[in-house]
């Protein structure tokens, strides 16, 4: 085998996509066994929830770093190349270190596959296992911040026996094909990350909260509810939902710090997170006219984004460019814009699961090429106008990179 390159890693992951989405832990458990169980040695903050996982992970990590701890983060999906899934502090793992880690890790994966009859490790399982390998062996960290990919109970990340703290940001409708069609069913799946004796912090509302409390009673876990702060926090991240995300993160970080015999005043935590901006989370990437990119990709997130637009840009002329994955509730998402008096322009993007333009409902204006449409729109827009680009993480990643260069 020659020297490994990033393109080789991308091809490795592409081949693993044929394994599909496995909402089952058997392959991960076999992989962890082949790796001598790194998930038992790392100290973890485990985060699940329908929306807000990335923001809570970033806020929590920043606070723990501010306290002097070495943190690692596993996130998915990401903007940028594959090594951006694994962060040390707030920086992607060095490319050279990443490639060496992959060489050693892939040998462990192949060993696990050769000794079991479960077939191929999936793309997400592979990435999850790599993160655990890095945090345990390659770049040991004090705390790993791990975002669940989907649901919780059978998500690939849910192999840690005893995290420092678990977080369930909120519960809404997403991934119903795997998690169920009701909030109760989805809440039950997400509550699967709650572990015996491990505190769980959540901002979930009823009826989902009742199911989490039931799981807490079963496991002896304290369910800690957090809402919007009475006194607003000073944040760069805009919107009432980010106030809640920050408050959840502060509580989760405080619990994690206790495991190290440490504490931090709320005022110091606020100072730590004040200037944080997570890419693609209601992020203003251009000014006069303003362009906001937001990764909202389900109905609840779209409604939150609309509320932010109406609150922060109430007097502005707002245009919307929208594209989504075909397995999302696209009609309901578009309807939310209509109900708010906004007329989204629909488009598509390069991804196997992206909804094609001809599949969108007929009343909506179409942009044959998203980048050409944005260029023309910005040329004609007044300096005080606002353009919102939203609908899919992948789409936002592409458009964010494009707009920042316009």
Would you call 289 helix, strand, or coil by DSSP? coil
Co-location of 46 and 165 in the same domain: yes
Co-location of 38 and 164 in the same domain: yes
Co-location of 223 and 296 in the same domain: no
Co-location of 254 and 132 in the same domain: yes
What integer pLDDT is reported at residue 205 of this predicted model?
93
Compute φ and ψ for 105, nearest 5 degrees. -70, -40
- Tens of pLDDT, residue by residue, the chain (406 residues): 568 999 999 999 999 988 877 778 989 999 999 999 999 999 999 999 999 999 999 999 999 999 999 999 999 989 889 999 999 999 999 999 999 999 999 999 998 888 777 778 999 999 999 999 999 999 999 999 999 998 889 999 999 999 999 999 988 777 666 777 788 889 999 999 999 999 999 999 999 999 999 999 999 999 999 999 999 999 999 999 999 999 999 999 999 999 999 999 999 999 999 999 999 999 999 999 999 999 999 999 999 999 999 999 999 999 999 999 999 999 999 999 999 999 999 999 999 899 999 999 888 999 999 999 999 999 999 999 999 999 999 999 999 999 998 7
Co-location of 54 and 200 in the same domain: yes
Of 239, 273, 307, the residue at which a domain comes to its end is 273
CA of residue 182 relative to chain centroid, distance: 22
Residues 6+ apart with CB under 8 A from 338: none
CATH of residue 20: 3.40.1190.10
Domain-located, residue 1: no
CATH of residue 366: 3.90.190.20
Compute φ and ψ for 151, nearest 5 degrees. 70, -120
Co-location of 257 and 331 in the same domain: no
Kindly state the helix (H) or strand (E) to which residue 114 belongs, with its residue range.
Answer: helix 95-114
Domain-located, residue 375: yes
What integer pLDDT is reported at residue 3 of this predicted model?
86
- The Cα–Cα gap between 164 and 189 comes to 20
Structure tokens at 15: 């081949």
Q: Residue holding tokens 């070495």?
A: 70
Compute φ and ψ for 195, nearest 5 degrees. -115, 155
What integer pLDDT is reported at residue 2 of this predicted model?
63
- The Cα–Cα gap between 4 and 275 comes to 37
Co-location of 396 and 297 in the same domain: yes
Co-location of 206 and 303 in the same domain: no
What integer pLDDT is reported at residue 116 of this predicted model?
76
Co-location of 238 and 289 in the same domain: no
Provide, for the chain, the percentages of residues in helix, strand and coil under a 3-state DSSP scheme, each rounded to the nearest 5: 45, 15, 40
Range of the domain at 200: 6-273
User: Within 13 A of 403's CA, how many CA atoms are on the CB side?
Assistant: 28
Co-location of 201 and 304 in the same domain: no
Domain-located, residue 214: yes
Angle formed at CA 152 by CA 244 and CA 44, multiple of 5 degrees: 70
- The Cα–Cα gap between 294 and 308 comes to 11
Residues 6+ apart with CB under 8 A from 248: 52, 56, 167, 169, 201, 202, 203, 226
Domain-located, residue 278: no
Angle formed at CA 275 by CA 270 and CA 279, multiple of 5 degrees: 125
Rounded to 10 degrees, what is the CA torsion of 170, 397, 311, 207?
-10
Contact between residue 151 and residue 173 where contact means Cβ atoms under 8 Å apart: no
Neighbours of 121 (CB within 10 A): 24
Co-location of 260 and 287 in the same domain: no
What integer pLDDT is reported at residue 225 of this predicted model?
97
Neighbours of 13 (CB within 10 A): 16
Q: What is the DSSP letter of 138?
A: I
pTM: 0.94
Co-location of 371 and 259 in the same domain: no
- The Cα–Cα gap between 294 and 392 comes to 8
- The Cα–Cα gap between 145 and 125 comes to 16
**Total structural domains within the chain:** 2
């Amino acid at each position: 085998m020659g020297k490994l390159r990033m393109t080789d890693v991308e091809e490795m992951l592409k081949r693993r996509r044929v394994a599909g989405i496995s909402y089952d832990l058997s392959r991960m458990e076999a992989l962890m066994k082949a790796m001598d169980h790194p998930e038992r040695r790392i100290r973890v903050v485990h985060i699940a929830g329908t929306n807000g996982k990335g923001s809570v992970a970033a806020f929590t990590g920043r606070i723990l770093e501010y306290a002097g701890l070495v943190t690692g983060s596993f996130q998915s999906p990401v903007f940028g190349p594959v090594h951006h899934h694994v962060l040390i502090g707030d920086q992607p793992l060095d490319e050279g270190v990443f490639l060496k880690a992959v060489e050693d890790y892939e040998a462990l994966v192949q060993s696990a596959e050769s000794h079991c009859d479960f077939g191929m490790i999936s793309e997400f399982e592979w990435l999850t296992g790599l993160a655990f390998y890095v945090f345990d062996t390659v770049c040991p960290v004090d705390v790993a911040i791990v975002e669940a990919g989907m649901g919780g109970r059978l998500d690939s990340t849910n192999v840690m026996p005893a995290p420092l703290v678990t977080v369930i940001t909120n519960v809404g409708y997403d991934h119903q094909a795997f998690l169920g069609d009701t909030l109760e069913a989805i809440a039950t799946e997400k509550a699967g990350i709650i572990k015996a004796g491990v505190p769980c912090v959540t901002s979930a509302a009823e009826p989902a909260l009742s199911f989490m409390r039931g799981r807490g009673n079963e496991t002896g876990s304290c369910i800690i509810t957090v809402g919007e702060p009475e006194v607003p926090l000073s944040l760069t991240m805009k919107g009432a939902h980010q106030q809640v995300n920050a408050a959840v993160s502060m509580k989760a970080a405080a619990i994690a710090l206790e495991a190290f015999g440490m504490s931090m005043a709320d005022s110091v935590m606020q100072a730590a997170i004040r200037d944080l901006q997570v890419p693609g989370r209601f992020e203003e990437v251009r000014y006069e006219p303003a362009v906001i990119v937001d990764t909202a990709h389900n109905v609840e997130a779209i409604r939150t984004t609309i509320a932010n637009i109406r609150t922060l840009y109430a007097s502005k002329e707002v245009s919307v460019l929208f594209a989504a994955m075909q397995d999302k509730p696209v009609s309901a998402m578009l309807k939310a814009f209509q109900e708010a008096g906004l007329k989204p322009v629909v488009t598509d993007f390069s991804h196997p699961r992206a909804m094609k333009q001809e599949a969108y409902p007929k009343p909506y204006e179409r942009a044959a090429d998203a980048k050409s449409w944005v260029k023309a729109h910005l040329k004609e827009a007044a300096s005080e106008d606002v353009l919102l680009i939203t609908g899919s993480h992948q789409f936002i990643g592409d458009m964010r990179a494009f707009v920042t260069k316009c």
